[in-house]
Amino acid sequence: MNQLKLRRLWLQLHLYLGLSVGAVFVLLGLTGSLLVFYTTLDNLALPAVTRPGSSQPGSPQTVSPQAILDKLRADFPARTAGWRIELPLHEGDPVLARYLKPAETRQLHFAPLMVTLDPHTLEITSERLWGNTVMTWLYDLHYTLLLDLDGKTILAIASLLMLISLLTGLYLWWPQGRGNWRKAFAYRRNAHLYKRIYDWHKLAGVYGLLVLLILVVSGLMLEKPSWFEPWIGAKHGLQHMGSAATPPEHAAAIPAAALSLDQMAVIALAQFPGSRLRWIYTPDSAQGQYQFRLYQPGEPGLRFPKTTVQFDLQGQLLGQHDYFADSAGDKLLNWLHPLHNGEAFGWWAAGWYC
């Protein structure tokens, strides 16, 4: 096959991939742009957090984890499995607690009950099921096309095809010969509209190629990390909250630990001086454990850090996991979400968090 026929083949492949998977990625781009501001937009639909005063029990940074758990257990006595409690990231944010496998949606891979609490009064300000709010519906549209686990597979395949589309576009653009590089970056202002549209397409692809590659590759690996973990030597795996095992539907209440969550939090933070407590996972069953997720300065993700400290049901220290002791493969997995949503590069890259 001569070079001209080969080029025509790549051109046809690039064209049809763009017309098919390109439409999917327009949808993903629009939904992803909104999800960059996921928590900010979602909080707009919630009652405003009260401002701390002398009579209030605490601020977002001093609110008692044990008091949060006691409130959840008192208001939701039938929810006997564990809670995932996210502490406020900014002043004015609520406490967010997730009950991963409520009876209403336990047949789905990930559709937790979401409860918000005012961090100053600990009053329940909302009770919602994942997928029943605008932003969580958009999240499922972006992450699974509303098709649960099947949607993840479809999007992973679409990502592979989009990667081929980007690489064929790079091949078609690549100038042949030293003298053609200037033309490759040229924009013909006075040319026919058709040629100007071609130049817009060409230059947008070239200048946006690095960003597009990061988004496509990170999105692909987030959808199907198991496809890549053996290749990169990852040991811990990329754990999504939906990966948690489904607890028994009528599980008995978890016995109280000898230590409170407040005491465990102090011990956990002492393991990594200078860290910040972000999440608390309580046991799903009598075989479970308490987990504290801490952010250490230098981790790529502030909202979902990877440093953890574990305790048994009695509150005894079991172990810890230091993000900075991870293998290169695990670090690569840990960077995927911050890279994909722009958090790794701060506000200017696309938003502070999602």
Predicted confidence (pLDDT) per residue in 297-348, tens digit: 999 999 999 999 999 999 999 999 999 999 999 999 999 999 999 888 765 4
Mean pLDDT of 64-90: 94
- What residue spans define the domains of the chain? 3-35+147-223, 58-133+240-248+257-346
Question: Distance between CA atoms of 174 and 97, rounded to whole angstroms?
Answer: 51
Question: Distance between CA atoms of 354 and 41, rounded to whole angstroms?
Answer: 10
Report yes or no: 113 and 104 within 8 Å, Cβ to Cβ: yes
Which residue has better confidence, 77 or 61? Answer: 77
Question: Which tens digit of pLDDT belongs to each residue from 208-233?
Answer: 999 999 999 999 999 999 999 999 98
Tell me, yes or no, if the pTM score tops 0.75: yes
Least confident of 167-176, 235-244, 251-260: 235-244
What pLDDT, on the 0 to 100 scale, is given for residue 60? 52
Question: Which tens digit of pLDDT belongs to each residue from 111-167?
Answer: 999 999 999 999 999 999 999 999 999 999 999 999 999 999 999 999 999 999 999
Residue type, 123: E
Report yes or no: 221 and 234 within 8 Å, Cβ to Cβ: no
Q: Which of 203, 197, 208 is nearest to 173 (CA)?
A: 203
Q: Is 322 in a helix, a strand, or coil?
A: coil
